[in-house]
Amino acid sequence: MTTILKVDGLKKRFGGNEAVSNVSFDVNEGECVVLAGDNGAGKSTVIKMISGVYQPTAGQVHFNDTVLTGKSPEAVRSLGIETIYQDLALADNLDPGLNLYLGREKTRRILGISFLDRKEMQRNAVEVMKSLGIVVPDPSAPVREMSGGQRQAIAIARAIHWQAKLVIMDEPTAALGVPEQREVMALIERLKKKGVGIILISHNLPDIFAAADRIIVLARGVVAGERKPSETNDEEIVRMMMGATL
């Protein structure tokens, strides 16, 4: 297995508050790494330092052979790291195609004038969604009319369509009902099969054990431990989250 992401000694200070003190871990191709930890443990801060939203106070992130540290969110994205935030950042009033292509829309020329190619974008969106096992009932309807799981799928489809090699998800199931949570877990399985590396943040123990190849527990800004799901259990993970050391 090849390592695609190397997180090395990340530290982040906000004023006097050290949100992340020392976090290191790797992510391999086609692997799902779960970041677990109590509220305020520093999970979101870590992934924001990967996606370029925050710059670390110390430490570095390597993606394949590139140093990510110092790059803007757009630059990180264009290298193939897609971050799906909890609010999804979809434009609810637009169809799945336009959401898939937002910022990189397809156009075609008619008599020298450029027009959006809505049909083509819709077709491609339907196709990518199909590869995720999701049928889009009406490709021209705004995504507001879709279920929470389907909307999550659009965000994931965006990652697949633009050939992300690493997908970061911050609590993707937090706002969803039980059937939709299952949908999202199935989507994560399909992403893994495509060889995409995944960093998943979750509070939900069953989800963590279902999705993870490795579980990294953060407590108060440091890595409290790293386990394979087969070598641990709920109790131990919770104990590590609460701050008991290895």
Ligand X SMILES: Nc1ncnc2c1ncn2[C@@H]1O[C@H](COP(=O)(O)OP(=O)(O)OP(=O)(O)O)[C@@H](O)[C@H]1O
Residues binding ligand X (CB under 6 A):
14, 17, 19, 37, 39-45
Nearer to Mg ion, 83 or 122 (CB): 83
**The binder of Mg ion chosen from 21, 44, 150, 202 (CB under 5 A):** 44
Nearer to ligand X, 87 or 231 (CB): 87
**The binder of other proteins chosen from 22, 66, 115, 127 (CB under 8 A):** 115
Could you tell me the sign of the dihedral formed by the alpha carbons of 229, 233, 238, 243, in that order?
negative
Cβ atoms within 10 A of the Cβ of 205, count?
Answer: 16
Q: Identify which range of 111-119, 183-191, 194-202, 224-232 contacts other proteins by CB under 8 A.
A: 111-119
Token couple for 210: 């279902």
> Where would I find the beta strands (DSSP E) of 104-184?
107-110, 113-116, 166-170
Nearer to other proteins, 16 or 103 (CB): 103
Cβ atoms within 10 A of the Cβ of 234, count?
Answer: 11
Could you tell me the sign of the dihedral formed by the alpha carbons of 60, 66, 70, 76, in that order?
negative
**The binder of other proteins chosen from 92, 127, 138, 234 (CB under 8 A):** 92
Side-by-side strand order, sheet with 197-201: 66-67, 58-63, 3-14, 17-28, 222-227, 214-219, 32-37, 197-201, 166-170, 81-84
Determine, following the binding rule CB under 8 A, whether residue 244 of this chain makes contact with other proteins.
no
Q: Identify which range of 23-31, 57-65, 98-106, 185-193 contacts other proteins by CB under 8 A.
A: 98-106
Determine, following the binding rule CB under 5 A, whether residue 51 of this chain makes contact with Mg ion.
no
Applying CB under 5 A, the site for Mg ion has a residue count of: 1
| C-alpha 44, offset from chain centre | 11
Nearer to ligand X, 82 or 170 (CB): 170
Which amino acid is it at 147? S
Could you tell me the sign of the dihedral formed by the alpha carbons of 74, 76, 81, 87, in that order?
negative
Applying CB under 8 A, the site for other proteins has a residue count of: 25
Question: How far is residue 96's CA from residue 126's CA, in Å, rounded to a whole number?
Answer: 8
Nearer to other proteins, 87 or 231 (CB): 87
For 157, residues 6+ apart whose C-beta sits below 8 A from its C-beta are 96, 100, 125, 128, 129, 132
Which amino acid is it at 93? N
Binding-residue pattern over the window 47 to 86 for other proteins, x denoting contact by CB under 8 A: --------------------------xx--x-------x-
Determine, following the binding rule CB under 8 A, whether residue 102 of this chain makes contact with other proteins.
yes
Residues forming the site for Mg ion (CB under 5 A): 44
Residues forming the site for other proteins (CB under 8 A): 73-74, 77, 85, 87, 89-94, 98-99, 102-105, 107, 113-116, 142, 144-145
